Amino acid sequence: MKKRVMIIAGPCAVESREQIIRIAKKLKELGVDALRGGVFKPRTNPDSFQGLGDEGIKYLIEAKEITGLPIVTELMSIEQVRRYADKIDIIQIGARNMYNYELLKELSIYNKPVLLKRGLSATYDEWLNASKYITNGINKRVILCERGIRGFDNSTRNVLDIQAIPYIKKNTNLPIFVDPSHASGNSYMIYPNSVAAVAAGCDGLIIEVHDKPDEALSDKEQAITPDELAKIIRDVRKIESILKENEEL
Ligand code: PEP
Ligand code: MN
């Protein structure tokens, strides 16, 4: 039987101790399963906010201690993995690093879940081969994450490839998560993308949430509020129960 859809939520970036702890407490109340927050940020523009780095990890760990929420954050180098693999609960490998095979090989030696984002224009084959760089070692705990692929229309940030969900389900034994935030880049699209992804059978969602989206230091256009997340969680649970009834038929 299918497990409950996992909800990972949190700001694009950890911006301050106060910000991440405040948001983590709100998310805990909503019943999310894990807290996300970027501290090493792979920004397209080198002059944009790059994240708090080591200081940010400290705040994220503090947010975990206070709320009990497991933490998810992106690591971008072998050195960061060596330093932090045992301190965080799920290591996120960003779309820009899906082809960084040396980094993936390093992850293969840990027994630690890795959320492997699909590359910006990666084919399914390239993505699955990237996952094998990790699972060829002792680490079998890869979670694939569809986060939108490059399309031809720049009205939205990317295009959410819903078909990735049934494709990954049919062709692998790995869980498939969806990131509706980077897929669309627009806060009003997070609800429809999330419910569509769950209806299509995804195993989890990772969603950017900020309690003051207008003040977010990165990706503010796609940030939703905790209230909006609450509606998504409510409807995700409804869809899951319909899927479960169908399974039982
Ligand atoms: C992120 O999740 O903050 C992020 C940068 O995602 P992606 O690697 O999918 O662009
Ligand atoms: Mn982001």
CATH of the domain at 130: 3.20.20.70
Q: For residue 246, is pLDDT > 90?
A: no
Cα-based distances in Å from 65 to 25, 30, 35, 57, 62: 11, 17, 12, 12, 5
- 170 is a domain residue: yes
Residue 171 lies in a domain: yes
**CA–CA separation, 149 vs 160, rounded Å?**
7
Evaluate whether residue 79 is within a structural domain.
Answer: yes
38 CB near ligand 1 (under 6 Å): yes
The pairing of strands 142-146 and 176-178 is parallel
Asked if the structure places residue 26 within a domain, the reply is: yes
Write out pLDDT tens, residues 25-63. Answer: 999 999 999 999 999 998 889 999 999 999 999 999 999
Q: Do residues 34 and 6 touch, judged by C-beta distance below 8 A?
A: yes
CA dihedral defined by 244, 175, 120, 83, rounded to 10 degrees? Answer: 140
pTM to 2 decimal places: 0.97
Domain contains 132: yes
pLDDT at residue 1 above 80? no
Predicted confidence at residue 133, as pLDDT, reads: 98
Q: What is the pLDDT of residues 174-207, one digit of tens each?
A: 999 999 999 999 999 999 999 999 999 999 999 9
- Residue-range definition of the domain harbouring residue 145: 6-248
Domain assignment present for 224: yes
136-163: average pLDDT:
98
Q: State the distance from the centre of ligand 2 to the C-alpha of 173, rounded, in angstroms.
A: 27
Residue 62 lies inside a defined structural domain of this protein: yes
Domain count, the chain: 1
The answer, yes or no, to whether any atom of ligand 1 lies below 6 A from the CB of 117, is yes
Whether 119 lines ligand 1, by a CB cut-off of 6 Å, is no
Q: If DSSP codes are grouped into helix, strand and coil, which group holds residue 108?
A: coil
Domain-embedded: residue 1: no
Rounded to the nearest angstrom, the distance between the alpha carbon of 238 and the centre of ligand 2 is 27
Would you say residue 111 has pLDDT above 90? yes
* 212: Cβ contacts below 8 Å, ≥ 6 apart: none
